[in-house]
Chain A
């Protein structure tokens, strides 16, 4: 348990007393939790609980009214949206946000954007340095393409692909960002039972094989409970519970939140 204790002392991502207000409405109140290296953390809550709001704070779409978000001690709120990728946070979107007019391979390569350095002028002039960089990243993403079984669709336009494949493309694109943390916004939405099972497997493999820490925001209860190491529960903008899945499933407050305010 010594090592576990050491991890506890330095969270990869720490959310502290985050408050978000829209007009007079408090969307989030004093939310705090830590995300540790190599962990799969599930973030759940009924509709309108503030999951997406919190998610959008992490990707800098919203700025909290107060509180702080730190990645390895660095203040995340000091960065612009487009700088988040470079800090090591990759993400997927609730309603797939692939680049439809690009091929699968181009989509995944776009994930490498923040790691590439060559200027537009160098690319226009086809300078050897720009071509070499392009080649290097094309080779790098081949592994991701293989890992997500996208080889046969690599040259197809994303718009021509079925829903499930597009989800994999988006996942691959997020992996190509070489993230320390991957944020998954309701990845199970629109998937059938088998696909959800496969997704759970994929999330676990992402952590186990690639060492990426996962923050999973999800409605799908059995998925969250089966893959998460820990679960944070939000309700009406407040954190009502945090703990291991087994613990959460028995928590009276959580049960009340999910079954309606008057039960129990």
Chain B
């Protein structure tokens, strides 16, 4: 159960406001302090954090596992890219459409998922992740997906009059999405629906006795979760200006899950910590000892699990 334990925000309001303010200032300062490539990396970290936040809503709150969130990420990326290949469609709109499509896909997957519990659901979602790159390569879908070659899209530029380069501008676009989604998710989980998610995770039978329709709640959680991860996928398409089947392998799904666990399951701000870990740890491990980076990565991961069983985010709570 340690994996799905939910960490609660206990910090007093003023402290929270100060921390929130500092984080906001730091987040806005980032693109002016770093060079072009670093800004690009920071943007990718934010995208990953959004994807992890999506999975957190599903696993940390409604208690359903997914090893296949990379598939929703891919779907969001492809839908976004599809609308942007000719460069006339507004890119924010394309990302939002990607999110809506993933919401529907999430609901559609959530229904059969009702029949599966815990490890079996993990396996079913796993197969989704395995299948995704192959589905994207299918020849009958080539007209929309671009087949093995994928799709190239126009990288959005800052509007006229704003003195930011494309990387800086995209950073702010992604940051705005992250901030808005963070507000929406925290709003959702602090109210009636969030309690219903947790109730379903903790004790479905008691949840029903409280008047919670467990099946609907579980499917809804899948829908919202897939939507958020799909938006992250759409943003990733903007950032890299390119989508291809092999960017969305099983490894992506695993990375999202690792980021969730490292950041803290059930702790929404942990997503950013998890994303930083997943993004930078492989390179960091590589720089420590080339050739054994996988071993070092594994050891660090195990060490985190031992020292911070509720994730690094859990350390900031009691």
Residues in chain A within 8 A of chain B (CB atoms): 59, 61, 80-86, 91, 93, 97-103, 106, 109-111, 113-114, 116, 118-120, 123-126, 130, 133-134, 155, 157, 173, 177
Contact = CB atoms under 8 A, between A and B. Distances in A.
A103 B10 CA distance: 11
Interface of B: 4-6, 8, 10, 183-185, 187-188, 190-196, 198-199, 201-203, 205-214, 220, 224, 266
Contact of B8 (A61, A91, A100, A103): A103
B211 A82 contact: yes
A7 to B, nearest CB: 27
Contacts of A59: 209
A120 B220 contact: yes
Contact of A101 (B6, B183, B206, B209): B6
Given A101-B201, A103-B8, A124-B188, A86 B211 contact: yes
B239 to A, nearest CB: 25
A195 B199 CA distance: 27
Given A116-B192, A124-B184, A124-B185, A98 B211 contact: no
B188 A97 contact: no
B61 to A, nearest CB: 9
A106 B185 CA distance: 17
Contact of B202 (A100, A120, A123, A133): A100
Contacts of B212: 82, 110, 113
B8 to A, nearest CB: 7
A99 B206 contact: yes
Contacts of A106: 195, 198
B8 A157 contact: yes
B209 A91 contact: yes
B33 to A, nearest CB: 32
A177 B210 CA distance: 7
24 contacts: A61-B205, A80-B213, A97-B205, A98-B206, A99-B206, A99-B207, A100-B202, A101-B266, A110-B207, A110-B212, A111-B210, A113-B212, A114-B211, A118-B191, A123-B190, A123-B194, A124-B185, A124-B187, A134-B190, A134-B191, A134-B192, A155-B10, A157-B8, A177-B211
A82 B193 CA distance: 15
Contact of A81 (B6, B192, B209): B209
Contacts of B209: 59, 81, 84-85, 91, 93, 97
Contact of A102 (B192, B195, B211): B195
Given A111-B210, A177-B211, A126 B187 contact: yes
Nearest to A126: B187
A99 B207 CA distance: 9
Nearest to A93: B206
Contact of A123 (B192, B199, B208): B192
B213 A82 contact: yes
Given A81-B208, A93-B209, A120-B188, 9 more contacts: A59-B209, A84-B211, A99-B202, A102-B6, A113-B192, A113-B195, A119-B193, A134-B190, A173-B210
A99 B192 contact: no
A111 B206 CA distance: 10
Nearest to B60: A101
Contacts of B5: 101
B123 to A, nearest CB: 25
B101 to A, nearest CB: 18
B262 to A, nearest CB: 20
